[in-house]
């Protein structure tokens, strides 16, 4: 027969403290399980709920005095075109020219977007004429037509005449 072992009677090793049976709380496992279930439910809800809708961008306001709105748009465009077409070119002539074309093209779109059906007919007609002129000038300039070209020069003169008429209408 084999000799009985004395391991059951040996003192506990110094690196491992003795464990008392029955001293660990039995409630830890169920509480951890409940917390895990709640966390999983919250994660599932967060994943499955519909995303909040972003606020809609405000529409341009066409309320108020239609003439004032159209004239404000005209002043903004005139200022942009004036600033960009008369900028000091220096060595960046192409950049100045591109900004001028952008001011004319964007300005035409801006003017048309700020027209209201209630804008006085003479003002609305002049704004449409000016916007069309700016678009024609800018697109032809982008296509490489020089300001000295007779047709482009005529477009520029016409735009300047409509610009003067608009300045009078918006006084």
Model pLDDT for residues 21-49, shown as the tens digit of each residue:
555 677 777 777 778 777 777 776 666 76
Residue pair 58/157 in contact by the 8 Å Cβ criterion: no
> 């032809």: which residue's tokens?
140
Residue pair 153/137 in contact by the 8 Å Cβ criterion: no
Residue pair 111/123 in contact by the 8 Å Cβ criterion: no
88 in a structural domain: yes
112 in a structural domain: yes
The residue range of the domain holding 138 is 66-169
> 């005449």: which residue's tokens?
161
76 in a structural domain: yes
54 in a structural domain: no
52 in a structural domain: no
Q: For residues 34 and 109, what is the distance between their CA atoms, to the nearest angstrom? A: 61
Give the DSSP per-residue string, 25-53: -TTHHHHHHHHHHHHHHHHHHHHHSPPPP
128 in a structural domain: yes
Per the model's pLDDT, the better-predicted residue between 28 and 154 turns out to be 154
Could you give the C-alpha distances from 31 to 21, 26, 41, 126, 144, in angstroms and in order? 21, 10, 15, 77, 77
Q: What is the pLDDT of residue 51?
A: 58
72 in a structural domain: yes
Domain count, the chain: 1
Full-prediction pTM beyond 0.75? no
123 in a structural domain: yes
């Amino acid at each position: 027969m084999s000799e009985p072992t004395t391991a059951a009677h040996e003192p506990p090793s110094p690196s491992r403290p003795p464990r008392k049976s029955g001293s660990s709380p039995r409630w830890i496992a169920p509480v951890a399980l409940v917390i895990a279930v709640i966390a999983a439910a919250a994660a599932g809800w967060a994943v499955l709920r519909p995303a909040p809708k972003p606020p809609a961008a405000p529409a341009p306001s066409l309320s108020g005095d239609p003439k004032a709105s159209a004239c404000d748009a005209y002043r903004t465009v005139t200022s942009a075109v004036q600033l960009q077409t008369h900028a000091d070119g220096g060595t960046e002539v192409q950049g100045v020219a591109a900004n001028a074309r952008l001011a004319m093209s964007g300005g035409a779109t801006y003017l048309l977007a700020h027209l209201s059906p209630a804008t006085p007919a003479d003002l609305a007609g002049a704004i449409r004429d000016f916007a069309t002129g700016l678009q024609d000038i800018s697109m032809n300039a982008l296509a490489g037509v020089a300001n000295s070209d007779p047709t482009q020069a005529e477009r520029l003169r016409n735009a300047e005449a409509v610009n003067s008429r608009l300045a009078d209408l918006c006084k």
